[in-house]
Structure 1
């Protein structure tokens, strides 16, 4: 089969690709022979299997037109998907096969395939992006921060015994709480008479919640409304204000171990200087491993800000399905069901949906951005680019062949396009080194 024409249509809401495909007369004959071979294996009165004449076989399926319709199905099922894959077109949903006339032996057969595809978008600029990055060098501040994190890891808690103590920022409050939504009074999933230790000012709860606990004493029962916003403006509980009922059970303070040679010995080091030396080595290895990926991510994020217009809703909806499926697959691999995970992590259903929606919008924007950069630069994908995708595979050629046999060559080319565009962004980025 050959694809004679590829047209892109845009109705203002959704972009579609329409492919005109032509099967040769030889392909039509081969499909016809295969179709009637299958029909001839049926039990037909008066004839042995495989011996009924063609006219009788056609009668078995309702006449000549129906028989040739079956031939069209054979042609499409056996050849069309490979032809589509060869064009690089990736449909977002099952495409529609439009057959105006059934095939006839001795002649070519033409039909069209149509369906939604990822939108083609433009950027406001294709110049290199400007990003900020940490230093590649290991600084003393890096070492001290790493040691501070280890020190935090080995913290302990000590009860505050003073009966007159009032809650202040930095305290850890042992509380029993119930949280509901002001809009409808519905309880937030997993937070009903729930015992929690809340680090005031630590981000355990939103700032507006922490502020309501300042000045409270052991035994107090508090009831208040608060805004469900984190420091970064996101919410773990969906939109709208929340209502809290909180009983104060006690207070604790965090106690950190002394940074001395005894502490270093617990970590397998000779002394604090040896600990710092090992930290420098570890941080250097970590930076070498992680900074290249961070650079790519930041360059991509900067480039997505240049998208000219909003990513169409239909494409974001398609990506959202992928994000949701990926999330559920991850839970399955961990052996955890959704409800169990939500309870364990005190996740509200609406908030989870919003997180998935935001991630879908981000991924859709990245896809459109990288495709726009690739197209603007008129790059081409080579066999070497495809082979690079399978580096590290035990049998790279066999893995690549499995993709091709499954008619997923177009997916490989898309992955290679994204990789080339992303690497170009990172390689050309104007970098400002910051702490």
Structure 2
């Protein structure tokens, strides 16, 4: 087998691969042995007919397609290696020459990973980022903790007020007819939460327990159910219970209940320390992102469309997984929002292109700087992963596959590349 790079236009390459007649004949024989059981030849039991008789009856090329399937993966891989190419898509195959006693000549067109023209990625200038933790930030976190530890207390001596949690039965009607999904019983609704259609919750304010209220609203024009979008509706609502949120007092007892500390001052000090740590991590993350963005800006690369499409597919899979964690899936999301899959892909395209370009640039810098990953780097990463998953280190290692190790190495290499960029950046 020999290969020749015929032409390269942008990121599309055409290869000419020649397989010797002897090598191709061996593949034809393999194809015959694989497929001979499918042919019925008079005078022979199924699978016992000679290759020559099958070819005589069905044509000389009867086994050619399968023979190409047999030989192509190996010769294609060799051709890619010989020409130092990195395909990013499936190859398009054309047969230029084939026949009894002839060499097999293939023309292969494939999109390859683009070349990156590196710019001055060292010494990148970025503005320093600082986040200061203020006393009101500590107070806001304390207030959040109070709300998380609040209890709902039933009230019976007053009507519904803003921020109350009410238990209601309701049924909705459009043009006097009840509609699907418009009915609920013993539903807990926080007034002012914006959970229901605009205008619904406000009309319950002032209602008393046991009272029935008619709520008049109009569905938004962009409502997910097309049969209801933009239409006026009437909801018959019965107030069954009113509850108010009761917040705990901010004192030492509160600190003991919600933390390992004995005093409120100790809790506040701990909150401040954690907020300052979060602020520092946020600063570092944003600086790293800015350095990466600047590094990409000074480099030139033409991103193949197929790589963008593949990235969009990955992003859709991730989005679908996130939806499943919330009890939904991509199909239901599209149904509820009235959005088409192509619209969602279009929204993701810019971000996908940015991700691909960033990945290509970081990979090129990594190679230029000859950044290597040591066994010590990998072991440290594995130890941190085991801690994160709260698993015994040896048991965690036993779960790892070769592809997992490759994934670790790639991630570590990229991280070390970004570290190098940040270390060489001018932050002021």
In the superposition, the TM-score normalised over structure 1's length comes to 0.62
Once the two structures are overlaid, the 10-residue window that deviates more, 65-74 or 391-400, is: 391-400
Query: What are the residue-to-residue correspondences of 1:121-160 with 2, within 5 Å?
Result: 135=131, 139-160=134-155
Residues 236, 65 of structure 1: alpha-carbon distance in 2 compared, 3 angstrom cutoff: closer
Distance 1:57 1:158 in 2: 87
Residues 370, 139 of structure 1: alpha-carbon distance in 2 compared, 3 angstrom cutoff: same
Query: What are the residue-to-residue correspondences of 1:117-196 with 2, within 5 Å?
Result: 135=131, 139-163=134-158, 165=159, 167-168=161-162, 170-177=163-170, 192-193=183-184, 196=187
Distance 2:94 2:326 in 1: 43
| Structure 1 position 35 matched with structure 2 position 28 | yes
Are the aligned partners of 2:28 and 2:66 in contact in 1 as well (CA < 8 Å)?
yes
Q: Which residue of 1 aligns with 2:72?
A: 76
Once the two structures are overlaid, the 10-residue window that deviates more, 260-269 or 98-107, is: 98-107
Distance 1:34 1:139 in 2: 74
Residues 356, 144 of structure 1: alpha-carbon distance in 2 compared, 3 angstrom cutoff: farther
CA shift at 1:271, angstroms? 0.9
Are the aligned partners of 2:149 and 2:247 in contact in 1 as well (CA < 8 Å)?
yes
**Per-residue CA shift, 1:383-421, capped at 9, x if unaligned?**
737998995394899625997xxxxxxx99998998788
Query: What are the residue-to-residue correspondences of 1:356-371 with 2, within 5 Å?
Result: 357=345, 360-361=348-349, 363-370=351-358
Please list every run of 5 or more consecutive structure 1 residues that lacks an aligned counterpart in the other structure. 10-15, 230-234, 404-410
Q: Which residue of 2 aligns with 1:276?
A: 268
Are the aligned partners of 1:4 and 1:19 in contact in 2 as well (CA < 8 Å)?
yes
Are the aligned partners of 2:373 and 2:412 in contact in 1 as well (CA < 8 Å)?
yes
Q: Which residue of 1 aligns with 2:5?
A: 4
Give me the CA root mean square deviation: 5.9
Residues 296, 37 of structure 1: alpha-carbon distance in 2 compared, 3 angstrom cutoff: same
Q: Which has the larger radius of gyration?
A: 2
Which of 219, 225, 240 pairs up with 2:218? 225
Q: Which residue of 1 aligns with 2:256?
A: 265
**Per-residue CA shift, 1:265-322, capped at 9, x if unaligned?**
112321112212333444455556666456556777899999x9xx999877655543
Which of 98, 101, 105 pairs up with 1:102? 98
| Structure 1 position 253 matched with structure 2 position 256 | no
| Structure 1 position 199 matched with structure 2 position 197 | no
Distance 1:353 1:3 in 2: 41
Are the aligned partners of 2:224 and 2:337 in contact in 1 as well (CA < 8 Å)?
no
Are the aligned partners of 2:133 and 2:272 in contact in 1 as well (CA < 8 Å)?
yes
In the superposition, the TM-score normalised over structure 2's length comes to 0.63
Please list every run of 5 or more consecutive structure 2 residues that lacks an aligned counterpart in the other structure. 383-395
Residues 157, 276 of structure 1: alpha-carbon distance in 2 compared, 3 angstrom cutoff: same
SS in 2 for 1:19: strand
Query: What are the residue-to-residue correspondences of 1:206-355 with 2, within 5 Å?
Result: 208-209=198-199, 212-213=202-203, 215-218=205-208, 219-225=212-218, 227=220, 241=230, 243=232, 245-246=234-235, 247=237, 249=239, 250-267=241-258, 268-283=260-275, 286=278, 292-293=284-285, 319-329=311-321, 338=329, 348-350=336-338
Distance 1:272 1:353 in 2: 51
Distance 2:220 2:425 in 1: 39
Are the aligned partners of 1:40 and 1:51 in contact in 2 as well (CA < 8 Å)?
no
Distance 1:186 1:6 in 2: 67
Are the aligned partners of 1:200 and 1:210 in contact in 2 as well (CA < 8 Å)?
no
Distance 2:372 2:257 in 1: 50
| Pairs aligned (count) | 392
SS in 2 for 1:20: strand
Distance 2:346 2:143 in 1: 33
